[in-house]
Amino acid sequence: MLVDSYARQEVVVLKRPRDGAEPREVVLVCGSCRERLTYRVFSVRAARRARRMWTALGLAGVGLVPLCVLVPNGVVAIVLALAGFGLALGSFTIVSRDIGVAGPGRLWRWPHYLAVPTEERTGALPTLRCDRCGHREPFAVGDFHDAKARLAQHTCPADGN
């Protein structure tokens, strides 16, 4: 059995704090290595504010790049251009992955990865998939174990039945 888009881990729902409240700490246990991972979940307002800040920094980085032609010193111009490019690239990478949750694996996938299902990546619902015949069992949040049981009960054509 394979869990599409979830690297064989169960879906976990992280509840956001109300707007204006302090970030909520959530401890999850990795299903593979059993390591305890602490995440900070931010309110919707705080997550939006962080996205706006990173976007502004990225735009400032983009704005630095054309300024390098105004600098008479070539070395300083190159450093300025690289700094602007790096700031823009880093900021826009963070914005593209920021969901208002901070912790291990949130931005980079190693060694842990906290995936967030989106309709573009997983379709309407995440699915369990039979690794022999490709049969799929969709599941909603909280329905993982039921979907796993349904998948175990399906008649697999690969078995010759």
Provide the terminal-to-terminal Cα distance of the chain, rounded to the nearest Å: 18
Domain boundaries defined on the chain:
14-116, 118-161
Percentage above 90 pLDDT, the chain: 13
- Higher local confidence (pLDDT), 104 or 119: 104
Find out whether 41 and 15 touch, Cβ atoms under 8 Å.
yes
Residue type at 160 in one-letter notation: G
Which pTM was predicted? 0.56
Average pLDDT for 66-83? 88
pLDDT per position as a tens digit, 9-64? 566 667 788 888 899 898 888 766 778 888 888 888 998 898 899 999 999 999 98
